[in-house]
Amino acid sequence: MKIICIGRNYAEHAKEMKSEVPTEPVFFMKPDTALLKDNEDFYYPEHTKDLHHEVEIVIKISKAGKHIEEKFAHKYYEEIGIGIDFTARDVQAKCKEKGLPWEKAKAFDGSAPIGKFVNKSTFADLNNINFKLDVNGQLRQQGNTKDLIFSFDKVIAYVSKFVTLKTGDLIYTGTPEGVAAVNIGDVLTCSIEGQELLSFHVK
């Protein structure tokens, strides 16, 4: 399986990163070794001094497809979940400065914690889902999918033009504003519409 991540998919986050709001989706990938499941502990990586959380709604692909039309994209996923796109912000800044790829900043082991999935039929409107990240019991990031620049279906249509999507692939759909540093000892807890789906310790 592969992990596809959408960058700058919420305008307020693009602004806080002093990045342009994109006119077409920006995506990058993480390998399967980035996944961190079952609320396992996350070990702060040695190659960064400025690790940031990015809480994101995650789509689980349920059927293989290529060149999927936006109007049919909803047939390619049944479940959504929530995860963290961990980013070594200092390493990413250096990569950006030099025009180099981001893998060291984004794709390291454990950089994609993922929680439990829920059937999408649980939600009345996928374009109006509240989600949040608490750090040590305090609200740190919150978003609503109505603020997505590119909806789930648009993202699937766009990415599948270039990359065949396969059953089990995950798409991290982008983070709202409020990204910040995490520290050893923190507990990160992620919820969708008040339902806690992911909680883990940083060690």
Contacting positions for Mg ion (CB under 5 A): 54, 85, 175
- Rank residues 175 and 191 by Cβ distance to Mg ion and give the closer one: 175
User: 125: how many CB neighbours lie within 10 A of its CB?
Assistant: 8
DSSP 124: S
* Alpha helical stretches, state H, 4-133: 11-16, 89-98, 103-106
DSSP 21: P
- State how far the alpha carbon of 55 is from the alpha carbons of 38, 87, 97, 117, in Å: 17, 11, 25, 15
Nearest approach, Cβ of residue 48 and Mg ion (Å): 15
189 vs 198: CA distance, rounded Å: 6
46 vs 44: CA distance, rounded Å: 7
Candidates 196, 3, 172; CA nearest to 116 is 196
- Rank residues 85 and 169 by Cβ distance to Mg ion and give the closer one: 85
Nearest approach, Cβ of residue 7 and Mg ion (Å): 6
- Rank residues 52 and 76 by Cβ distance to Mg ion and give the closer one: 52
Candidates 57, 37, 70, 85; CA nearest to 142 is 57
Nearest approach, Cβ of residue 175 and Mg ion (Å): 5
94 vs 106: CA distance, rounded Å: 13
Nearest approach, Cβ of residue 117 and Mg ion (Å): 19
- Rank residues 85 and 134 by Cβ distance to Mg ion and give the closer one: 85
| Residue number closest to Mg ion, CB atom | 85
- Rank residues 17 and 163 by Cβ distance to Mg ion and give the closer one: 17
- Rank residues 65 and 86 by Cβ distance to Mg ion and give the closer one: 86
Nearest approach, Cβ of residue 122 and Mg ion (Å): 24
Nearest approach, Cβ of residue 95 and Mg ion (Å): 15
